[in-house]
Structure 1
Amino acid sequence: MKKMFLFPFVILLIVLSLTACGEAKSKTASEVERDSDSGNTEKNIQKVVIAEGNTGFMLTPIYVAVEKGFFEEEGLDVERVTLSGGSKALTAVIGGGADIATVALVDTMKAIESGQDVQAIGSLFNQIGTNIVINKDIAAEKGVTADSSMEEKVLALKGLKIGISSPGSGSDHIIRKLLESEGVNPDREVELIPLGQADAQLAAFKNKDVQAFVYSSPTTDMATKLDGIILFNYSKGEVEEYDGLTYLTLVSQTKDLEENKELFQKVTNALAKSGKFIESDRDGTKEILKKYIEGIDPEVFNIAFENNYPAFAKSPMITKEGYEKNIEFGGIDLPFDDVVNNEFAENAQ
């Protein structure tokens, strides 16, 4: 999987896609009323493109920064572009089509191991934010529930069509590692189907094109209203060895971090403000998320919010403890400072 980062043709396609379609798919910080006390003028506004390989609760600090005007306070015009998976978002950064990508930290480690010069500069979600849902009739046929043993639940996935966001993404890594832990070959004994973002995952699950899928909350919570049960609830922290793992991060090219420190400091400052807001105003955070999470039963939303709230990054700082859990999770042992650049988080106001 890690070889995908080396394909220039794929990178070119992503860059062209961002150029052609980014404006239609993005929401910019200019949509938020400018803070009259910020002192920013049109001529010193800096444009920044964020390629998002995820949707849902994991992007909460970004949603808060947009809605509260924190990006604009820092003099930033943020264009957000949604791509189908963290691997494609990272490819966009490597190809120069985006300044920052939202990427699972383990995928950043893979990219660095394969020779890419990138670094993570801030945390967004401090928990594996991806869950696994299975059709309840299939679960009953296999004789498993959410309370079954890890081995029983993994073996119940054998022979199924399982949706993921994209090859090489966090969802792809999680399901492969899980299957392999019980001796199930992910390339031969299941069928992993790339489905892209949330709507496509839910549609395929509803239509029974897949019997299970791997995605972040609250999409997996919404699937419980479509005859699904959450078989593995990582975002709740129920898989103890990975509880507290730094999962979703902001990633950029190292050369860009060195050449444009001001821009990345401003982005990190905005996210530090988001973290403080999330920590101090739980109800306000919930109201902001309701604008971004549509079509969900209110009761399901409330349960999912409470399950995920502890993982929302209250600071962009990436801790060594959260990083080290990725070494076990990803099977890649790289020095902390090769992967993580905490300079901007340390200086964040």
Structure 2
Amino acid sequence: MLSCLVFLLLGACKQEELTEVRVGEVTRSIFYAPLYVAMEEGFFEEEGLKVDLRTIAGGDKTMTALLSDGIDVALVGSETSIYVNAQEANDPIINFAQLTQTDGTFLVAREAIDDFSWEMLKGSVFLGQRKGGMPQMAGEYVLRKNGIDPHNDLELIQNIDFANVATAFASGTGDFVQLFEPTASLFELEGVGHIVASFGAQSGHLPYTTFMSKKSYLEKQAATAESFTRAIQKAQNFVYANSAEDVAKSIAPYFENTELSLIATVVERYRAQESYAKNPILDEAEWELLQDVIEQAGELPRRMDYNEFVDTSFAEKAMN
């Protein structure tokens, strides 16, 4: 009896001894569904981790929090690591697990278009995203890929704050707008606009959003980073193995003001074009395409060596 009691006590202690990981996400988005699945389905706890999730609006602020040790891990676009590492920091920022692998925006037209072609944007008023931001750079890349010069073939508006772009379009500005979900689908439901194309489907695979940390943290907390990445892999498997409705139910607590049916619609849309990465590995082709996109936009400080700023060892172990 005593031995059983000791065993139970030890088991209880073991369950309580979770390693805390402070994670800063650049925004709250259904685009990041696997992260919330990992939290709600207990995958982090299974790996002995307790995640303290904080939403830090803006890539600059998120990276500042990471550099100042306010957080341990940042979930943000890989381009931010390029900008920081270009300043030759003593403690480089390393991308170690990928969450999304395409652009997450959609092209929304004011009127419904049955047979859309990108040529229709020529001569139009296009309400884009912030200059130098990844959505805008990926958007310009897609336009050029389809034979459109974003600065000469249309009237490009990109001086509106990210938070106000949707409102500006709803108020009558622009013929087309580049929007994230769930706003794009919500506009369709309300008749404000109509989704006619996906920038994500056109962009190709990019390390659009990744988990990154200081090199020193990954060296000191290698076991924690591996456990963290394994939990993300479990969540990625869950997202693709279950129905969009079940995924929506799992992440619904993070989107209290969004209808469950709308969450499911967005999950299915992102899943159909494989915006959610199926594993945490950021491969070299994706890294190089990212730099091509940034370079075309005139924002790349210099090419960054994949082997120096990407570490796939944790993802490879998690997959095995």
TM-score range, shorter chain: 0.7 to 0.9
**Are residues 316 and 72 of structure 1, via their aligned partners in 2, closer, same or farther at CA, if it must alter by over 3 Å?**
same
Contact map agreement 1:86 1:101 (CA 8 A) in 2: no
- What are structure 1's unaligned runs of at least 5 residues? 1-35
Matched, 1:90 2:63: yes
After TM superposition, the structure 1 = structure 2 runs for residues 128-277 of structure 1, keeping only pairs within 5 Å, are: 128-134=103-109, 136=110, 145=113, 147-153=115-121, 155-157=123-125, 160=127, 162=128, 164=129, 168-175=132-139, 182-184=149-151, 190-196=157-163, 202-203=166-167, 205-207=169-171, 214-224=178-188, 225=190, 227-230=192-195, 232-235=197-200, 237=201, 239=202, 242-277=203-238
**Displacement of 1:308:** 0.8
AA matched with 1:218: P
Matched, 1:127 2:102: yes
AA matched with 1:278: V
Matched, 1:338 2:308: yes
Superposition TM-score, scaled by structure 1 size: 0.71
AA matched with 2:66: V
Matched, 1:109 2:82: yes
Which residue does 2:285 correspond to in 1?
A: 321
**2: distance between equivalents of 1:256 and 1:214?**
36
Which residue does 1:10 correspond to in 2?
A: none
**Are residues 78 and 343 of structure 1, via their aligned partners in 2, closer, same or farther at CA, if it must alter by over 3 Å?**
same
Q: Which has the larger radius of gyration?
A: 2
**Displacement of 1:328:** 2.3
**2: distance between equivalents of 1:76 and 1:210?**
46
Contact map agreement 1:146 1:229 (CA 8 A) in 2: no
After TM superposition, the structure 1 = structure 2 runs for residues 14-25 of structure 1, keeping only pairs within 5 Å, are: none
Residue 315 of structure 1 aligns to a residue in which SS?
A: coil
**Are residues 209 and 46 of structure 1, via their aligned partners in 2, closer, same or farther at CA, if it must alter by over 3 Å?**
farther
Which residue does 2:93 correspond to in 1?
A: 118
Contact map agreement 2:97 2:210 (CA 8 A) in 1: yes
Which residue does 2:247 correspond to in 1?
A: 285
Contact map agreement 1:245 1:323 (CA 8 A) in 2: yes
AA matched with 1:243: G
Q: Percent identity?
A: 23
Contact map agreement 2:32 2:99 (CA 8 A) in 1: yes
- What are structure 2's unaligned runs of at least 5 residues? 1-9
Q: Which moved more, 1:317-326 or 1:336-345?
A: 317-326
Higher RCO (CA < 8 A, seq sep 6+): 2
Superposition TM-score, scaled by structure 2 size: 0.76
